[in-house]
Amino acid sequence: MGFDPWNPEFVAYPYRVYDELRRTAPVCFFEPTGQWLISRHADVNTLLRDRRLGRSYLHVATHEEFGRSAEPEFQELFWRVIRAGMLDVEPPVHTRLRRLVSRAFTPRMVESLRPRVRAIAEGLVAAFVEKGGGDLIAEVAEPLPVTVIAEMLGIPDQDRHLLRPWSADICGMYELNPSPEAQHTAVRAAEEFAAYLRTLAAERRGAPGDDLISALAQIDELTEDELVGTCVLLLNAGHEATVNVTGNGWWSLFRNPAELARLRDDRSLLPTAVEELMRWDTPLQMFERWVLEDIEVHGVRIPRGSEVALLFGSANRDPAVFDDPDRLDVGRADNPHISFGAGIHFCLGAPLARIELMESFGALLDRAAELELRREPVWKPGYIIRGLHSLELNVAG
């Protein structure tokens, strides 16, 4: 098997293929998506910081100039929402948007949320243990980050159930070559989500509360589209990957029982364990960049207008950077994993994600004396956003 992101076997274990790519073809053209695959840590890290590449090209060229066709008309509102958030724009717009939002995500601001995050994690875990277990993803991994980001933004309790399906449907568009059905579902979700946020922002503009939507709604510099795009981005990015790190992380620990036992015996390893779980089974396997000016990687010229696919999961297993990279080591001290990205788009929510993960792993280890897998979990089909359908556990306190 070679690189095959549509093959469930590859999605379940892409790491052997990555080894081969890193060794024999660190830059190679992948015909089915028309992208250049980049698999070594040093190259992924360098290209993420290289301003000759961008998450978008629309600030320097038209679709025609880049030899691409414009998206179909039915997707117009989807892209209007997505491209109004900071993740899909480049400077100077990116710099402005990121500055407006980053105040809410400084390590100090986020640290002040820790007691609340802990209380939510403990409540969810207590209920989970009380009933002897169930699906860890639906009952703990999802509700924790969804509640935290929804509270930060000020989404009313009764509407929170809408967020996860909207986000999951929107994310369908990010997979490689999405089906027409996935595209329509994503468009519908973006339309509903945007309409919902427009109404909420209008209400908060008139009667502000102590939440991020109210704060953003007061900023004149922010257009209506930018406000909606920012909220959609925060709500989606604010939970998708955290859910998957929780599920993938526990599944990694079950596959490495000696490391689970080590963590149970020494809770001071939690910070390094969380980083290692993000490295060892990477939740976001690939990020794409457009080539805005010709570049050369290992002697291969990649011309302007091309697209590169940066293989985060491969970079995180590169033996040039990590000792014994296939070993899960919850105490790994030197761990420059790339799971939060690098460069100007480096994850804004990294400090929050780290707190959520430490609190939820810590709460379950504290509460559950026994944890046992009911059955081997199944991966969802997505390759870029990679996570488990469910993780069924028996738990005893």
List contacts with ligand HEM (CB under 6 A).
55, 86-87, 98, 149, 233-234, 237-238, 241-242, 245, 283-284, 287, 339-341, 345, 347-349, 352-353
Cβ proximity to ligand HEM: between 357 and 395 the closer is 357
Q: How far is the CB of 24 from ligand HEM (least distance, A)?
A: 26
Neighbours of 195 (CB within 10 A): 12
Q: 């990205």: which residue's tokens?
A: 341
Q: How far is the CB of 270 from ligand HEM (least distance, A)?
A: 14
Cβ proximity to ligand HEM: between 101 and 395 the closer is 101
Cβ proximity to ligand HEM: between 251 and 287 the closer is 287
372, 392 Cβ separation under 8 angstroms? no
The runs of H, that is alpha helices, within the chain are 8-12, 15-24, 41-49, 76-82, 93-102, 107-111, 114-130, 136, 143-153, 163-171, 180-206, 212-217, 224-237, 240-255, 257-265, 270-280, 312-315, 350-367
Q: How far is the CB of 236 from ligand HEM (least distance, A)?
A: 9
Neighbours of 202 (CB within 10 A): 11
Q: How far is the CB of 271 from ligand HEM (least distance, A)?
A: 14
Cβ proximity to ligand HEM: between 3 and 340 the closer is 340
**For residue 173, which of 188, 184, 163, 183 has the smallest C-alpha distance?**
183
Cβ proximity to ligand HEM: between 248 and 390 the closer is 248
β-sheet bridge partners, residue 119: none
Q: How far is the CB of 149 from ligand HEM (least distance, A)?
A: 6
Cβ proximity to ligand HEM: between 55 and 184 the closer is 55
196, 159 Cβ separation under 8 angstroms? yes
Cβ proximity to ligand HEM: between 11 and 384 the closer is 384
Q: How far is the CB of 62 from ligand HEM (least distance, A)?
A: 22
Tell me the residue nearest to ligand HEM as measured from the CB.
349
**For residue 90, which of 279, 344, 361, 386 has the smallest C-alpha distance?**
344
Q: How far is the CB of 240 from ligand HEM (least distance, A)?
A: 8
Contacts of 322 (CB under 8 A, 6+ apart): 279, 316, 332, 335
22, 314 Cβ separation under 8 angstroms? yes
Two tokens, residue 165: 């399906």
How far apart, in Å, do the first and last CA atoms of the chain sit? Answer: 43
Cβ proximity to ligand HEM: between 388 and 395 the closer is 388
Neighbours of 76 (CB within 10 A): 12
Q: How far is the CB of 299 from ligand HEM (least distance, A)?
A: 26
